[in-house]
A and B are shown apart, each in its own frame.
Chain A
């Protein structure tokens, strides 16, 4: 029999579950996000209620005893949302607390998986840094929509804050239905209703500034002019800019 620790899917919730593992010492345990849980008759289910104090203690423990670098990797790997993440990270944390190296020992299968999760999240984060396209709204906010493969916005926040310190901006994750908003002072998490017609060209003048359309048009033209037809290589192009990102790229709009 396995004990299933069911938590709310947040990083704090996960750390709370880790705390409970150390506290209750189950023999066999599986930490599962409530969104992915499947009922089965053999396992015992326990609901874990996210507890900030417990989560903080685990986080401090990780940073202090395993190291800041490891903490960073664990957080990034968590954002991958892959179904094995809780199990891998729990084993990593256990190994780390026992004093094993969990950042460079690539001969260890969990360390390799951790590295791999960090890599795919890092790549997606980097893609978002690159592919986000702001449009200037009539109320003077630079607005962008994204649909990243993993939950990368928390990682993108600092990059955009450092870069666009003098303009208000909002980046909205349409998959996970939340966004990050910078109000010239701080970045906050926000949730909003976005009208369905915001991406239709007919309604665009209603939401966006007059110049906005012109700049998109200039950018599209620029994109075309830089191409060198005698070197054309669509395979390579698609490898760098996979089709699933085109939806929100200004230069790819008809």
Chain B
């Protein structure tokens, strides 16, 4: 290998790929077989973190940053004056294997600018994955980007080698897409998604009958939306997200605060802050929908089209729905426990286990690790000391924020830079 040339390409093509925030490498079931290389049956591992605190788990690169399209929000767009480069298929294979063997990465995340046409590009992405699986007996994680407009046949093949497939819809609303990427049609994104969803369902049902059926995209599909580029509301974003979860059985939807990269009057100007706090609130909302049993209508609706920035969405919901509180932790069911501000899902499990042995009081709840400064106003337990005063939502809010030394407040007052983008979002 010519290492100098590879280094140059890697710098260009890693730099261009970093705006895709997906980093997950978990959820696959591909175990090591025939004493080959790699295993992705466990939880994904972050092997390091960037200086902005994002998980580095995969070698995330573009095959090339040549592109025939001109999407305004993308650094790779045709009209942008940047250095271009392209990897050969074998170069990507070698890099992946050698990084993997040194325990730098969990696998490969391969995306690409669109050169010539969608199928020509997709074919090459699939070829990389195929070589890794068949020639190198590689069982690490592979995430391939589905190129919008790629044929059904290629999408079917892609899923045979990749663990996860994704198409980024990028712009949450159709009007926004029309404005920023006039050559792109929403239907081009949807088509490969639908194909992948149908294949996943079909392979799964065949596998039930015939054991030897190969696994197809075992880690499912994901997508990403850019936040804050087109003036959309939080409700517009999250309803779109809820639709994708439901319609395409997405494993994850990622939210990526727009990073200004060009002087284009359709977009926020260079130097505008990345909306990191907003991004974090959206992830929290996403979490509440997927794991806490909230419905989207409860969190965002006509009266509340946007999330509050100074408090997290669960506390915000609780303050709007004080009639459900206080919750008795010794008797309430899972669903209700999960709604107490300051109590995360892990604590819910612990509470349910522990209360089988004795009635829980404050000291037990503290030991379990719930966040008292929020929780205390919303629950009762086996202790004589309670918050008995009837308080209004506004009073509660100022009480909680006044005592809170938590990262929420810290971040709020010190201009939004204390958050990570998507790994380990905490909701409690």
Q: Which chain A residues have a beta carbon within 8 Å of chain B's beta carbons?
A: 101, 104-109, 112, 126, 129-136, 142, 144, 159, 162-167, 184, 211, 214-215, 217-219, 221-223, 225-237, 239-241, 249-251
- A-side contacts of B379, CB under 8 Å: none
Closest beta carbon of chain B to A137's beta carbon, Å: 12
Residues of A within 8 Å of B356, CB to CB, are 104-105
Size bracket of the B interface: 35 or more
Q: Chain A contact residues: over half helix, strand or loop, or mixed?
A: helix
Given contacts A106-B367, A222-B59, A228-B259, contact A233 B53 (CB under 8 A): yes
| Complex A-B, nearest 3 residue pairs according to Cβ-Cβ distance, in ascending order | A236-B53, A231-B52, A104-B353
A251, B367: Cβ atoms closer than 8 Å: no
Check if B99 sits within 8 Å of A133, measured CB to CB: no
| Cα of A226 to Cα of B353 in the assembled complex, Å | 43
How long is the Cα–Cα vector from A234 to B54 in the complex, in angstroms?
11
**What CA separation (Å) do A50 and B88 show in the bound complex?**
59
A219 near B37 with CB under 8 A, answer no
Of chain B, the residue at the smallest CB distance from A234 is B51
Given contacts A135-B102, A167-B37, are A230 and B259 in contact (CB under 8 A)? yes
- Please encode chain B, from 1 to 28, with 1 for each CB lying within 8 Å of some chain A CB and 0 for all others: 1010011001100110011000000000
| Chain B contact residues, majority secondary structure | loop
User: Out of A130, A214, A226, which one reaches B14, CB within 8 Å?
Assistant: A226
Q: Chain B residue with minimal CB distance to A241?
A: B49
**Contact across chains for B354 and A215 when beta carbons are under 8 A apart:** no
- CB-based contact A225/B10 at 8 Å: yes
Residues in A with CB closer than 8 Å to B103 are 132-134, 144
Q: What is the distance, in angstroms, from A127's C-beta to the closest C-beta of chain B? A: 10
Q: Does B130 contact A (CB under 8 A)?
A: no
Residues of B within 8 A of A108 (CB): 357
Pick the residue among A215, A236, A241 that contacts B418 (CB under 8 A): A236
Residues of chain A within 8 A (CB-CB) of B367 are 106-107, 109, 112
Partner of A217 from B7, B49, B59 at Cβ < 8 Å = B7
Beta-carbon contacts of B29-41 to A below 8 Å, as 1s and 0s?
0011001111101
Chain A: minimal CB distance from B205 (Å): 29
Contact A134 B52 (CB under 8 A): no
Task: Report which of A105, A132, A223 forms a contact with B357, defined as CB distance below 8 A.
Answer: A105
In the complex where A162-B31, A166-B35, A236-B420 touch, is A215 in contact with B56 (Cβ < 8 A)? Answer: no
Contact of B32 (CB < 8 Å), options: A106, A162, A219, A223: A162
Q: Is the CB of B45 within 8 A of A126?
A: yes
Between A and B, 20 residue pairs with Cβ closer than 8 Å are A106-B354, A107-B367, A126-B45, A136-B101, A136-B102, A142-B102, A163-B38, A164-B101, A166-B35, A167-B101, A211-B98, A215-B98, A219-B104, A223-B56, A232-B51, A233-B51, A233-B52, A233-B420, A237-B53, A251-B104
* B357 to A: closest C-beta gap in Å: 5
Query: Given the known A-B contacts A228-B259, A233-B51, are A134 and B45 also in contact in the complex, defined by CB atoms under 8 Å?
Result: no
- The docked-state distance in angstroms from the alpha carbon of A159 to that of B106 is 13
Of all chain B residues, the one with the shortest Cβ separation from A219 is B104
User: Beyond A109-B367, A221-B7, A230-B274: 20 further Cβ-contacts under 8 Å?
Assistant: A101-B357, A104-B354, A104-B356, A107-B358, A130-B47, A130-B48, A164-B37, A214-B1, A218-B6, A219-B99, A219-B102, A222-B59, A223-B56, A226-B15, A231-B259, A231-B276, A233-B51, A233-B53, A240-B55, A241-B48
For B386-428 the 0/1 string (1 means CB < 8 A from A) is 0000000000000000000000000000000111110000000
Whether A222 pairs with B32 at a CB distance below 8 angstroms is: no
Q: Do A218 and B274 contact each other (CB < 8 Å), given the known contacts A166-B36, A226-B50, A233-B51?
A: no
| Residue of B46, B51, B274, B368 most packed against chain A (CB within 10 A) | B51
- Residues of chain A with a CB closer than 8 A to B353's CB: 104-106
Residues of B in contact with A (beta carbons under 8 Å apart) = 1, 3, 6-7, 10-11, 14-15, 18-19, 31-32, 35-39, 41-42, 45-56, 59-60, 95, 98-99, 101-104, 137, 259, 274, 276, 350, 353-358, 360, 364, 367-368, 417-421
Contact B102 A133 (CB under 8 A): yes
Bound CA–CA A167/B38 (angstroms): 10
**Minimum CB–CB distance for A16 against chain B, Å:** 31
In the complex, the answer to whether B52 meets A228 with C-beta atoms within 8 Å is yes
B36 proximity list for chain A (CB < 8 A) = 165-166
Q: Are B37 and A221 in contact (CB under 8 A)?
A: no
- Complex CA gap A130/B39 in Å reads 14
Asked whether B52 lies within 8 Å of A237 as measured between CB atoms, the reply is: yes
Scoring B37, B60, B102 by chain A CB atoms within 10 A of each residue's CB, the highest score goes to: B102
In the complex, chain B residues whose CB is within 8 Å of the CB of A130? 45-48
CB distance from A199 to the nearest CB of B (A): 16
Q: Chain A residues with Cβ under 8 A from B7's Cβ?
A: 217-218, 221
A250 proximity list for chain B (CB < 8 A): 102, 104
B364 neighbours in A (Cβ, 8 Å): 106-107
- In whole Å, how far is B62's beta carbon from the nearest beta carbon of chain A? 11
